[in-house]
Chain A
Amino acid sequence: MAKENAFSLKFDTDWKYAPAPESTDHVEIKAKYDLFIGGKFVKPNSKKYFKSINPATEEVVCEIAEANEKDVHDAAKAARKAFPAWSKIGGKERGKYIYRIARLIQERAREFSVIESIDGGKPIRESRDIDIPLAAAHFFYYAGWADKLEYAFPNRKVEPLGVAGQIIPWNFPLLMAAWKIAPALACGNCVVLKPAETTSVTAMKLAELIRDAGLPDGVVNIVTGAGKTGAAIVNHKDVNKVAFTGSTEVGKMIQKTIAGTGKKTTLELGGKAANIIFEDAPIDQAVEGVINGIFFNQGHVCCAGSRLFVQESVKDEVIQKLKIRLETLIVGDPMDKNTDIGAINSKEQLKTITDYIKIGEKEGFEKFQANVAIPKKGYYCAPTLFLDVAQSSRLAQEEIFGPVLAIQSFRTVDEAIEKANNTPYGLSAGIWTDKGSKAFNMAAQLKAGVIWANTFNKFDPTSPFGGFKESGFGREGGMHGLEAYLKVY
């Protein structure tokens, strides 16, 4: 086993990248956003608005309406009213509307990317190259299914469910809205969607876009607010289906609430994915995959590879290379085109992450943080590794949802499988090996909904996504994603 040695690389180079901020002057964000109900923007009955904060600057972006039960009721009623016509309009017509939404997102991609980064803190490179293009791709994909549902379920009869209540998280605001809205519409349902309270702006921009696309009034309604607004959606009698992406804790509450109501659900909850590196892996690409697995979107990814299992014979090499790689990550202004890691989404989340780092320190595991410059203002967290973490440590067991990687080691294939599966979650996993048979064997035995081999965090509308165990149930994306929005006879 080769030990780490003294030779080091110096990344504080004489030649540096100049700041390259993406321009924001083409973007229009209103001072106040109302609720989108029945095709119109309406003031909230609550008369209350809350502030949306730019996590990189701690400045107020705008004010967002807080929907109360009455507002949610109005939205559900509007959706119910629109449902008969929308479900009977025919798949071909529905497809045309969805295509239009997809094209409009593409046309306004730059605007959406900039707003996503301002409101949520994610680096512009990711909003520009991943979030927004994928959101458009989801609408394109499901637009194609709208008139082909009978082919998706041969020899069976399908019907839409009615009104879908959809509650989405703050980590991929527009993309999650697309994951939820696109299949629901394709299947002929109407929608009441609630974005997360810290990231509502692109959802409201999407509401404007949906209005501009000429979608019939009430087919899509977007109400903003926090947990209470979400609960009102879940509890509303006109809601036939609840689709939720978020924490396992809230997911369990939702399931209890709707027990016995006949409402259908899909839950996409937390994760604590294992990224497993074998000694025969392509090490440089594996290291890059681990970096992408845990630091993509500041680690605010439910399928993030937050546990690294590395075979002991290559442990030192992998850890040395991870440390080196950490030195070259650029942490800072989300609007800079060269930023790799942006701002933590909110003050609350930063506290959660910082608390976990303290727990790791208290548990006594070796911590490594790269010597990278971090802005003074804004919510930032340096990318962090914890080495030789024990399976029984909280760092290895609980979802941190931040840029913190727990590194563990293993000796045999069986041990890797046992440890990887030894978690209440089961959303995703990564396998790194040059040997195909090993990858397939592992994939068959890992209890996770999505398994990547020699890559990580790859998303595509054609591929179903969803979890096992406490990571939830139901699948989004692909043909499987249709079933969640249909009655199939």
Chain B
Amino acid sequence: MELDFKNTPKIDQVGLVERADRFKTRSIKKEAKIQGLKLALNMIDLTTLEGKDTEGKVKQLCYKGMHPDDSLDIPTVAAICVYPNYVAIAKKALGTSGVKVASVATAFPSGNSNLKVKLEDTRIAVDAGADEIDMVISRGKFHQGEYQFVFDEIATIKEACGKSRLKVILETGELGTADNVRRASDIAIWAGADFIKTSTGKISPAATMPVTLLMLEAIKDHYLKTGKMVGMKPAGGISDSKTALQFLGMLRETLGNEWMTNEWFRFGASRLTNDILLQLKKQETGFYQSGDYFSKD
């Protein structure tokens, strides 16, 4: 297959937003809501990416990921997402729970470093036991039109990941246009990404519905051409249950059943977890509880 990233499928921004808005009118109630919330919880990459992260903070988060709320019959989150230097701690804390450890790498969040440093960063995380690597693309090079550079970098990092799955963060908020997001998605997918991910969480706008939809459509096109599945991770800005359910509806109607698992879809979020717990508790008891009933980690 000939790859020409200067000439990727066109996106009409207005039509894209209009289509994404349609998913907001889907009414998700009762059993569908409970089932959807549990699914969403199980798709969360519970994340802490702060300068002030500590061992203590990471351990607390790991416990929360395994036991979001023991008074409810609910699944664990999908993964805990941390900086490379906390991978070993998280790995140990999570033990055999099945909750994965994801680590950001490649000079996260800016990606402004050379390949050598990025590779080393990746290897450190992989060697420490990271199941998943969340890398950032070189947005500067992308804007300079050096698509091959961006492609090669992703492919090289993918190689360094070994068995760990690679999530490629496009940082859509810095790409400027829908056409650019589509181009970056195609570059990442063809370069070997296991997941494409919207954002670092450090830049706004992050995971909007339109941008997620267009990335899902890039995944769909790739699947229809090659039969190869790629996962999707909207990250940043999804903080309430209602929005998460709308994203699930969008996923359902764009990619269908095969993607409706945390193997192929993740929410990169920290605040979302407690809102889902609050809603699930409401479904069970009929009342909204005070925020103090849910752990603030």
A residues engaging B (CB < 8 A)? 2, 5-7, 9-18, 20, 125, 129, 280-286, 288-289, 320, 328, 337-338, 434, 454-455
Contacts and interface: CB of A to CB of B under 8 A. Distances in A.
Interface string B1-43: 0000000011110111011000001111111110110010000
Contacts of A328: 253
B242 to A, nearest CB: 14
Nearest to A285: B15
A193 B102 CA distance: 67
Nearest to A284: B217
Contacts of B74: none
B19 A288 contact: yes
Nearest to A453: B12
B15 A13 contact: no
A15 B39 contact: yes
B10 A281 contact: yes
Given A9-B258, A281-B10, A338-B27, 20 more contacts: A5-B224, A6-B227, A7-B225, A7-B227, A15-B36, A16-B32, A17-B249, A18-B29, A18-B30, A18-B31, A20-B27, A129-B25, A282-B9, A284-B15, A284-B16, A284-B214, A285-B11, A288-B15, A320-B224, A454-B12
A454 B14 contact: yes
Contacts of B150: none
A16 B260 CA distance: 11
A155 B27 CA distance: 54
A9 B221 CA distance: 11
Contacts of B32: 15-18
B154 interface: no
Contacts of A17: 26-28, 32, 249
B224 A282 contact: no
Nearest to A288: B19
A454 B26 contact: no
A280 B39 CA distance: 38
24 contacts: A2-B225, A6-B227, A9-B220, A9-B223, A10-B258, A11-B253, A11-B256, A13-B252, A13-B256, A13-B257, A15-B32, A15-B39, A15-B252, A15-B260, A17-B28, A17-B32, A18-B32, A20-B27, A280-B10, A285-B16, A288-B19, A289-B15, A320-B224, A434-B10
B25 A125 contact: yes
Nearest to A336: B27
A286 B14 CA distance: 11
B11 A282 contact: yes
B19 A285 contact: yes
Nearest to A281: B10
Contact of B25 (A13, A281, A337): A337
A287 to B, nearest CB: 10
B189 interface: no
Contacts of A14: 257, 260
A371 to B, nearest CB: 13
B248 interface: yes
Contact of A18 (B14, B25, B28): B28
Q: Which 8 A-B pairs have the closest CB atoms?
A: A285-B15, A20-B27, A282-B12, A18-B32, A337-B27, A9-B256, A285-B12, A434-B10
Nearest to B224: A7
A16 B227 CA distance: 25
B89 interface: no
Contacts of B12: 282, 285-286, 434, 454
A216 to B, nearest CB: 40
Interface of B: 9-12, 14-16, 18-19, 25-33, 35-36, 39, 214, 217, 220, 223-227, 248-249, 252-253, 255-258, 260
Contacts of B16: 284-285
A14 B252 CA distance: 10
A22 B235 CA distance: 33
Chain A CB within 10 Å, residue with most, of B14, B227, B253: B253
A12 B227 CA distance: 19
Interface of chain A, helix or strand or loop or mixed? loop
Contacts of B31: 18
Contacts of A11: 252-253, 256-257
Contacts of A283: 9-10
A298 B255 CA distance: 25
Contacts of B255: 9
B10 A455 contact: no
A18 B26 CA distance: 10
Contacts of B249: 17
Contacts of A285: 11-12, 14-16, 19
A282 B223 CA distance: 18
B54 to A, nearest CB: 38
Contacts of A129: 25
Contacts of A20: 27-29
A123 to B, nearest CB: 10
A320 to B, nearest CB: 7
A15 B255 CA distance: 13
Given A7-B224, A9-B256, A11-B256, A282 B15 contact: yes
Contacts of B28: 17-18, 20
A320 B226 CA distance: 15
A310 to B, nearest CB: 15
Contacts of A10: 256-258
A20 B220 CA distance: 29
Chain A CB within 10 Å, residue with most, of B30, B39, B224: B224
A217 B116 CA distance: 85
Nearest to A433: B10
Contacts of A281: 10
Contacts of B9: 282-284
Contacts of A320: 224
Contact of A7 (B18, B217, B223): B223
Chain A CB within 10 Å, residue with most, of B9, B10, B11, B217: B10
Nearest to B220: A9
Nearest to A291: B19
Contacts of A282: 9-12, 15
Chain A CB within 10 Å, residue with most, of B12, B25, B31: B12
B271 to A, nearest CB: 23
A455 B14 CA distance: 9
Given A9-B256, A11-B252, A15-B252, A455 B15 contact: yes
Nearest to A328: B253
A5 B222 CA distance: 12
A194 B279 CA distance: 50
